[in-house]
């Protein structure tokens, strides 16, 4: 009993001495029968129980401020901390995703964290958070979420923390919302943003109005946006809709400088499950432009004198962009029929702002000419195949004309009596490496010729 009591006194006083004196003490404790853990495990337990008064923390290698990093780490100067606490701070910084590397060292009273910033950060975007402006929300999130500055890593928990902070901010405004975050990218492109959206309440479009539009344009605009009423509001969707559906209304009337600044969404009503919004679409119409000239210098394939016949726009016409597009297709078709499968056509505009006119310089880059390598006719009898071969003019080795096959049956109706009531599905396989095309025509009975 006397020995056991002595051992107990020694254990209680050991926390006050240097851990380098652990080994002789361990021997004594083994003799006393109170050290049941292996020496290594006992030493680890002791180290984790050690408590230090944190006097100084230094962060190196990062562009973030010392204040922001200290807040993000969870460390507090002047507070008691264990070795495990230093590790927890490193784990917290690492799991944020903001850093590609986190190292640390400490000597009890002081600690240093060596950081490497993650270079792969993307912008954050707010899709349908109509109860607060983006600017106000960004400012608020910067205060609430350590290390958030408007950009986010693609991995880690910073995006999750931002989503939770949005929920808190909206709740303070009386809106109970569930926020989701998703990466966004252009088609076949890299992730360019993290998008935050309200899943609940569901945000729907109840009304759409236009500011800056002339009265004559309102009916066409209202007709164009009618399918959006009652659908879920997404700011990015509305931007695409304005570009693809509203802008052409103006371009086809010669408003070549029309602009659609960012639309705004105003809540009309909000319940637990549903929020209805009114969308205001601002429009800067600009002036109407007329065509001054379509300039084409001419080539052997398309002489200058032949170009006006292919252009649907004439000098003095309103610069209708749909007619311009069709005109360019006609000009490019002259090259396409001669085997230039990759020909590109551009119209480079020159504006006279004082007279509100535009002249287009036509540029055609033909690329390489392609030839027909093989043609195959399927689902035909011998008699029908013989009749086809008698009238088919596009032979292997010829310059490939992609317009020939689609019009073949219609153009040769009188010569193909055995194919009355048949149709053909044509497929072209383009070999860009060898600049050749394989053509397959599959014939089917029972439908009109096409």
List the domain boundaries for the chain. Answer: 2-42, 52-117, 121-200, 202-282, 290-365, 371-445
Which tops the pLDDT comparison, 267 or 419? 267
CATH classification (class only), 202-282: alpha beta
Q: Say if 121-200 and 371-445 have the same CATH topology.
A: yes
pLDDT in tens, 302-358: 999 999 999 999 999 999 999 999 999 999 999 999 999 999 999 999 999 999 999
Cβ 9 vs Cβ 2: under 8 Å: no
pLDDT for 187 beyond 50: yes
pLDDT band at 50 (very low <50, low <70, confident <90, very high): confident
pLDDT at position 447 is 61
Give whole-number Cα distances, 246 to 222, 252, 306, in Å.
Answer: 10, 11, 34
**Residue 414's pLDDT is what?**
86
Is the pLDDT at 263 greater than 90? The verdict is yes
**Strands 191-200, 121-126: pairing kind:** parallel
- Measured between alpha carbons, how far is 263 from 211 in angstroms, rounded to an integer? 10
According to DSSP, the residues that pair with 111 across neighbouring strands are 57, 106
Q: What is the CATH number of domain 121-200?
A: 3.10.20
Q: What's the topology of domain 52-117?
A: Ubiquitin-like (UB roll) (3.10.20)
Confidence (pLDDT) at 409: 84
Are the C-beta atoms of 439 and 372 separated by less than 8 Å? yes
Which residues are bridge partners to 214 per DSSP?
none
The answer to whether 183 and 124 are in contact (CB under 8 A) is no
The phi and psi torsions of 308 (rounded to 5 degrees) equal: -60, -30
pLDDT of residue 207: 98
Give, in order, the Cα–Cα distances in Å from 10 to each of 6, 21, 39, 46, 51. 6, 12, 16, 14, 19
pLDDT in tens, 378-429: 999 999 999 999 999 999 999 999 999 988 988 888 888 888 888 889 999 9
Reported as a single tens digit per residue, the pLDDT across 225-262 is 999 999 999 999 999 999 999 999 999 999 999 999 99
* Cα–Cα distance measured from residue 440 to residue 408, given in angstroms and rounded to the nearest whole number: 13
- CATH class of the domain whose range is 371-445: alpha beta
Residues in the chain: 450
H or E stretch covering 29 = helix 22-32
Assess contact for 423 and 444: CB atoms under 8 A. Answer: yes
Distance CA 139, CA 264 (A): 19
Please give the residue that has the higher pLDDT: either 430 or 419. Answer: 430
pLDDT at 42 over 60: no
Query: Which of 98, 222, 78 is closest to 157 using CA atoms?
Result: 98
Asked if residue 437 lies in contact with residue 371, where contact means CB atoms within 8 angstroms, the answer is yes
**Range 276-288 average pLDDT:** 98
- First-to-last C-alpha distance (Å) of the chain: 108
Contact 246, 228 (CB under 8 A): no
CATH topology of domain 290-365: Ubiquitin-like (UB roll) (3.10.20)
């Amino acid at each position: 009993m006397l020995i056991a009591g002595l051992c107990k006194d020694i254990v209680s006083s050991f926390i006050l001495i240097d851990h380098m004196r652990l080994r002789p003490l361990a021997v004594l404790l083994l003799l006393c029968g109170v050290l049941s853990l292996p020496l290594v495990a006992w030493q680890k337990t002791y180290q984790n129980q050690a408590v230090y008064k944190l006097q100084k923390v230094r962060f190196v290698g990062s562009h973030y401020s010392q204040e922001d990093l200290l807040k993000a780490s969870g460390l507090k100067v002047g507070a008691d901390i264990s070795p495990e606490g230093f590790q927890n701070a490193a784990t917290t910084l690492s799991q944020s995703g903001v850093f590609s590397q986190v190292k640390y060292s400490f000597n009890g009273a002081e600690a240093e964290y060596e950081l490497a910033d993650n270079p792969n950060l993307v912008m954050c975007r707010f899709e349908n958070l109509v109860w607060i402006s983006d600017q106000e929300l960004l400012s608020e999130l910067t205060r609430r979420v350590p290390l958030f500055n408007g950009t986010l890593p693609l991995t880690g928990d910073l995006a999750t923390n931002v989503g939770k902070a949005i929920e808190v901010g909206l709740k303070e405004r009386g809106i109970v919302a569930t926020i989701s975050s998703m990466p966004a990218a252009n088609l076949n492109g890299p992730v360019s943003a993290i998008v935050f959206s309200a899943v609940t309440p569901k945000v729907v479009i109840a009304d759409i109005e236009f500011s800056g539009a002339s009265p004559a344009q309102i009916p066409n605009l209202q007709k164009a946006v009618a399918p959006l009423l009652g659908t879920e509001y997404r700011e990015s969707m509305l931007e695409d809709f304005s570009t693809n559906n509203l802008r052409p209304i103006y371009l086809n009337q010669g408003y070549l400088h029309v602009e659609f600044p960012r639309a705004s969404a105003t809540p009309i009503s909000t319940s637990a499950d549903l929020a209805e919004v009114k969308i205001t679409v601002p429009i800067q119409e600009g002036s109407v432009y007329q065509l001054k000239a379509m300039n084409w210098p001419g080539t052997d394939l398309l002489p200058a004198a032949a170009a006006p016949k292919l252009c649907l726009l004439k000098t003095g016409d309103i610069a209708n962009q749909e007619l311009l597009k069709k005109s360019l297709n006609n000009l490019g078709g002259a090259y396409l029929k001669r085997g230039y499968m990759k020909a590109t056509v551009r119209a480079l505009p020159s504006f006279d702002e004082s007279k509100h006119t535009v002249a287009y310089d036509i540029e055609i880059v033909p690329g390489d000419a392609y030839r027909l390598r093989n043609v195959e006719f399927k689902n035909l009898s011998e008699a029908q195949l013989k009749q086809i071969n008698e009238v088919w003019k596009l032979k292997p080795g010829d310059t490939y004309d992609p317009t020939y096959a689609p019009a073949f049956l219609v153009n040769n109706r009188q010569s193909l009596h055995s194919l009355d009531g048949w149709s053909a599905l044509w497929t072209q396989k383009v070999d860009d490496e060898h600049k050749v095309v394989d053509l397959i025509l599959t014939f089917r009975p029972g439908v009109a010729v096409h």
